[in-house]
A and B are shown apart, each in its own frame.
Chain A
Amino acid sequence: MNIAALWALITKDARLYFANRLFALVTVLGLVAYIAIYFLLPATVDETLRLGMVIPELPPALAEALTDDAVQIERFTDATALRAAVASGEVTVGIAFPADLFDQLRQGSRPTVELFLAPEVPPDFVSVYEAAARELSFNLVGQELPVVISEEILGPDMAGAQIAPRQRMLPLFAVLVLMVECLGLASLIAAEVEQGTIRALLVTPLSLRGLFVAKTLFGSLFAFVQAVLLLAVTGGLVREPLLNLTALFIGSVLMTGTAFLIASLGRDLMSVMGWGMLALLIMALPTFTVLLPGLAADWVQFIPTHYLVDTIYRSLNFGAGWSEVGGNLLPLTASALLFLALGMAILQRRFV
């Protein structure tokens, strides 16, 4: 097919896309909003642990912790004051040893150590603070633990360099940008099928293959340019730019294939939106595992966008390069080609 015809089809799709006010607004405002939200979110992480204590004397290890910015220790006179401080949010965790701790020990009774926890402390962390309270107890009474504890940090040591919320959200924004364009393209195609303009195009020298080439180029490039713009403005191209650009481009092709599938199912704008929302929810799931690491599950790897999200997230925040995450591009490419092929095969049946 000739380049002039290809270009005419791409510019036609671009004009039709922006003739739809909904998608024109969502595209422009969405991009602006994602960038604005990114810069409004904190760039640093405040993970300071505020610990309140009622303790007869401070063990040397704890005294050392006082110099650590990550832990703020405040001593209280009694358990009542400590309880009130936890309830008011002044401290997050309170450990109160009885005032007569040593007397109780001398008498052979088991002293009770009270542990006060603020409501926002995750349940998983309760056992951690219990263990900390027990260790403090051992320190206080002078008994050494019968085992040697060796500390090993798994993965990059993020102490002092925690991942800011906005960095965690960047992959979500990238996926959202791609998905909006996916919905726009699906809507465009569904409208062309319903209005019969696709039939008019196909009764010309334009072949089916040429039509799909034009649609794929328009959809992929349009989505890719916006995603690149997002990352460029938010500094996401500073680290491993070629890797991230490649991942974004393949992700754009994946979304174009998804658009073909949605268009083959949708009969009008409403049904396209319905199917599109379902697809968006599924495709966005891997981004939530980045936002909330506790949500990570093995089945997320079956969602193609997992490989896009993982690549961007790890390259931007952990300095991962081609050797660490380059392998993600293979399943991502395979998924993109599969979605594209499947979408074309099903969609063309609606063209006659």
Chain B
Amino acid sequence: MSEPAIVADSLTYRYGDLLAVDHISFTVERGEILGFLGPNGAGKSTTVKMLTGQLRPLSGRALLLGIDVSRHPKQVQARIGVCFEQPNLYEELSAADNLRLFARLFNVRDLDLTALLRRVGLDGRGNDLVSHYSKGMKQRLMIARALVNRPDILFLDEPTEGLDPTSAEAIRRVIREEQERGATIFLTTHDMYEADRLCHRVAFINSGRIVALDTPHNLKQQYGKRMVRAEVVGPDGSLLTREIILDQPETAAEMANLLQHEKVITLHSEEATLEDIFIQLTGRGLA
């Protein structure tokens, strides 16, 4: 069995008096997509900065592909791709020039610019100045830049935040393709729906600590409540909502009572969302 792609061992970081990341540990297997969920200020970005060599941990260590990031950051950075939350492209240059610059920095000599731009849906727009791009186009270009060196590990920070559905779906498609290629994906996001769809496992981080780490399915099984939600006609003719928790001793009786005595308009089974589970675990939402 190959060594994990990412090993975080008791990583800690402090900004002055604020303990931003508090001894977090986890591993990410090669080819896995790990979702890192948490509200603003939870420590997600600080964790990513330590993993990508931008910050030196106060204590603990991070191993990427078996290499200690603190000791050999440039060796690690040659094999990873990073897509930042905020666009940080050279707006006065064209998309193609931005990509060529980073190809040179990674010593990539055989960059197929056309193919890369086509992958992210920017074919034909390579010579346009980035300042003329929409937000969605800039985000796609950021993804393209992160793929220039065909990275073994891809760090994506809120890649679909604020994007239109077309752009967001284009990015998700690229993420799946990269995973199929064998890359490991470390995805930080607020979007529990996206994490649920894309990630093999998700980690919840709150106040610098990991409060849960498992597959979405297992988390829902462990923490979630399955229920049936019905809309019924009330005495005054208005629509009312009824909820029946499943897997309880009284479930069958409640279901029978509902169907016998209420005029049911709609009936849906539901399971807990990751946000519901996060709120249950931390007492706060993901936003």
Residues of A within 8 A of B (CB): 2, 4-5, 7-9, 12, 15-16, 19-20, 195-197, 199-207, 352
Contacts and interface: CB of A to CB of B under 8 A. Distances in A.
Given A195-B88, A205-B74, 19 more contacts: A5-B105, A8-B105, A9-B101, A12-B101, A15-B93, A15-B97, A16-B90, A16-B93, A20-B92, A197-B88, A197-B89, A197-B90, A202-B54, A203-B53, A203-B80, A205-B77, A205-B78, A205-B106, A206-B105
Contacts of B88: 195-197, 199-200
Interface in B81-133: 82, 84, 86, 88-93, 97, 100-102, 104-107
B106 A203 contact: no
Contacts of B90: 12, 16, 197
A3 B55 CA distance: 27
Given A200-B84, A203-B53, A205-B77, A195 B91 contact: yes
Contacts of B86: 196
A204 B102 contact: yes
**Most central of B54, B105, B145 by chain A CB within 10 Å:** B105
A196 to B, nearest CB: 3
A5 B104 CA distance: 5
A279 to B, nearest CB: 25
B111 to A, nearest CB: 12
Contact of A352 (B54, B80, B93): B54
Given A5-B107, A8-B101, A8-B104, A19 B74 contact: no
A205 B107 contact: yes
A12 B175 CA distance: 29
A203 B91 contact: no
A11 to B, nearest CB: 9
Max chain B C-beta neighbours (<10 A), residue from A8, A9, A16: A8
Nearest to B52: A203
Nearest to B83: A200
A15 to B, nearest CB: 6
Interface string B45-61: 00001001111000000
Nearest to B129: A19
Contact of B77 (A15, A19, A196, A203): A203
A4 B104 contact: yes
Nearest to A203: B82
A199 B106 contact: no
Interface string B4-28: 0000000000000000000000000
Given A197-B89, A199-B54, A8 B100 contact: yes
Contacts of B145: 200
A203 B55 CA distance: 11
12 contacts: A5-B104, A7-B104, A12-B97, A19-B93, A196-B88, A197-B88, A199-B84, A200-B102, A202-B54, A204-B102, A205-B77, A352-B49
A201 B102 CA distance: 8
Contacts of A207: 74
A81 B54 CA distance: 84
Nearest to A18: B92
Contact of A15 (B54, B74, B91, B92): B92
Contacts of B100: 8
Given A5-B107, A8-B100, A8-B104, A203 B93 contact: no
The list of the 5 closest CB pairs from A to B, nearest first, reads: A196-B88, A19-B92, A8-B104, A204-B105, A205-B78
A12 B101 CA distance: 8
Given A12-B93, A195-B91, A199-B84, A205 B105 contact: yes
B243 to A, nearest CB: 46
Given A195-B88, A195-B91, A199-B88, A4 B53 contact: no
Contacts of B107: 2, 4-5, 205
A142 to B, nearest CB: 83
A17 to B, nearest CB: 10
A208 to B, nearest CB: 10
Nearest to A202: B54
Contacts of A9: 101, 105
Contacts of A200: 82, 84, 88-89, 102, 145
Contacts of B80: 203
Contacts of B89: 197, 200
Contacts of A204: 77-78, 102, 105-106
Contacts of A2: 107
A16 to B, nearest CB: 6
Query: Which of A19, A200, A205, A207 gathers most chain B CB within 10 Å?
Result: A200
Contacts of A352: 49, 54-55
A200 B53 CA distance: 12
B168 to A, nearest CB: 22
Nearest to A198: B88
Contacts of A202: 54
Contacts of A205: 74, 77-78, 105-107
A200 B157 CA distance: 13
Contacts of B52: 203
A231 B54 CA distance: 44
